[in-house]
Structure 1
Amino acid sequence: MGAILAWRDGYFHWGYFLLTLVGIVCVNAGLDMSNDYFDHVAGTDDVNETLTPFSGGSRVIQEGVVTARQVLVASLACYAVGIAIGLYLAVTRGWPVLWLGLIGVFLAFFHNAPPVRIYNIAPGLGELAVGIGCGPLVVMGTYYVQAQQLPLEAILVSIPVGCLIAAVLYINEFPDIEADRIAGKKTVPVVVGRRRAVVGYIALIIASYASILVGALLGIFPYTLLIALLGVPLAFRAIRGAQRFHSDTPQLIPVMAATIQLHLMTGVLLCAGYVIAGVLG
């Protein structure tokens, strides 16, 4: 998203784009593996009996595919590569890249790692950390690497991306509620219960599309970004499914899948909107 926006604004460098992409992939891989490791240490995945294709961890430690130590080492190696790339980009493109990157790595690692464990501080903080780290920080950092500046549009267009990735995480927490409660995680579903937690899921999806609509109406975004509203019918189906099946894990699995599709579809459509805007001038 950030790279597409930078391209539309006349800034694009393939080398910096590929480096940024590798760095982001490494940090995300580090996040997934450190999350598996610290969930194992806390006992969350070991006691989780409600498994789905989208929740309950990767199970590679529980099934003996790799050891916990190997997962931790691989995670730290991924973080190290991501940090090294970030340092290079900070030196060559500007120090704001460093601060955005460090915040991202902090949120990725400590959202579930001691001594911070952002998830355990207060309900909603863990979801917020992932939403910010995988949404605004990625979009803003990618744009800055290309353009060496950060306009308001780049900040605001990251909001729907962050909201939808947070929604993916949020709905995936519903099947894990009992295991998370035992492990002391203060996820929103654990604290308020499944039925009331659905309100937060709905709010995230509405906020994502409302931000696109308002941004376009105010002239902050090009009107071509309204193409992303093609995802609204899928959003309604996901919301309805969450309302009906929040306590029925097998029936909730299609809702979890739809939320992932919604995130990917909206991101692709936003990028397409910027490409169309760039072509039209």
Structure 2
Amino acid sequence: MTNSKIKHWLQAFRLRTLPLALSSIFMGNFLAKWQGEFDWGILGLAVSTTIFLQILSNLANDYGDSIHGADSAEREGPSRAVQTGAISKGQMKTAIIVFAGLSLISGISLLALAFADQWMLITVFLVLGLLAIYAAITYTAGSNPYGYRGLGDISVLIFFGFVGVFGSYFLQAKTLDWNVLLPALSCGLLATGVLNVNNIRDIESDEKAGKISIPVRIGRDKAVVYHFVLLGLAMLSGVAFIMLNASGWTSYLFVLAFPLIIKNGVAVKTKTSAAALDPYLKQLALSTLLYVLLFGVGLVL
């Protein structure tokens, strides 16, 4: 494989999305550590499974948007591999199958380590994993992609928030704790914010392609208000959790990430071109990861 081909595959993997995908996993593990339950092996396999799932989602998104026309020449965001012909549709299909398999293998290994012979729990989590794979593939691929019907936001909230945080917490603690709800909501809202930045950036090309995202439905101005609501509720959820469950100044370390999150909201409001707005997807993803790391460190100190 040539260096050029490797570069195209790395671009298709969209590695800049990984910090966001890992945020919910880290949050769940920090919360478990805070409760005195933690295993490094479980964390490692949870991280590998999440990385494989996120890359799978990105490859399926590249393929699906190209098939359905959202990645046409009129799209203002970064071009995708299938759209440009750098990677063929057949090669992308093969890669999707490979990463679906890797996700499944890593996920099963994780469940075997976490639950040993508790087959009921293994079955429940295996079903959740298969649903995650299905959701990743059908977001923009398939005959009726739900991402084209404005349902991407709720899917991101569920999988990057509730499933990611509650699931990773349960893998460590082997129990549910409803105190996890607010941090899970916080992660999910910030992840939905990243999707919203992406959809605001692509609002014109998505509308032409028939991709009815939230910004396409409500218009840019209201989508900006929606963005501030997502970010504001995420920050408030974190503060509410700490006020209810923790004490000491270190518990509030995560507020140091608030200026970066607010900066993202301001940028979404003021940056009207796709080129100017595009860097703020990565900025919010990294800000979310920083928020989670500070939140977790503050809890366990």
Identify the range of structure 1 (255-264 vs 61-70) with the bigger mean alpha-carbon deviation. Answer: 255-264
CA separation in 2, counterparts of 1:216 and 1:160? 12
Q: 1:155 is matched with which residue?
A: 181
CA contact (8 A) 2:28 2:164 kept: yes
Which structure is richer in relative contact order (CA contacts within 8 A, separation 6 or more)? Answer: 2
Q: Which has the higher helix share?
A: 2
Whether 2:64 is the aligned partner of 1:43: answer no
CA contact (8 A) 1:89 1:97 kept: no
The letter of the residue matching 2:81 is: V
Equivalent in the alignment of 2:130: 102
Q: Is residue 133 from structure 1 mapped to residue 159 from structure 2 by the alignment?
A: yes
Say whether the 8 Å CA contact 1:33–1:71 is kept in structure 2.
yes
Deviation of the 1:6 alpha carbon: 1.7
Answering whether residue 107 of structure 2 is matched by residue 86 of structure 1, we say yes
Q: CA deviation at 1:271?
A: 1.9
Gaps of at least 5 residues in structure 1 are 277-281
TM-score by length of 2: 0.81
C-alpha separation in 2, matches of 1:256 and 1:26:
20
Equivalent residues in 2 for 1:20-31 (5 A)?
20-31=46-57
Alignment partners' CA distance in 2, 1:89 and 1:222? 33
**Structure 2 partner of 1:113:** 141
TM-score, normalisation: structure 1? 0.86
Q: Which residue of 2 aligns with 1:279?
A: none
Structure-to-structure mapping, 1:201-240, within 5 angstroms: 201-219=227-245, 224-240=250-266
Could you tell me which amino acid in structure 1 is paired with residue 244 of structure 2? L
- How many Å separate the matches in 1 of 2:216 and 2:107? 35
CA distance in structure 2 between the aligned counterparts of 1:26 and 1:251, rounded to whole angstroms: 30
Partner residue in 2 for 1:273: 298
2:31 aligned residue: 5
Deviations 1:78-127 (A, max 9, x none): 11221233334445512332243233223222222224411233x3x212
Total equivalences in the alignment: 267
Whole-angstrom distance in 2 between the partners of 1:128 and 1:225:
29
Distance in 2 (CA, whole Å) between partners of 1:81 and 1:132 is: 22
Q: Deviation of residue 194 (structure 1)?
A: 1.1
Distance 1:89 1:259 in 2: 29
> Does 2:287 correspond to 1:262?
yes
Q: Secondary structure at the match of 2:154?
A: helix
For residues 74 and 251 of structure 1, what CA distance do their matches in structure 2 show? 31
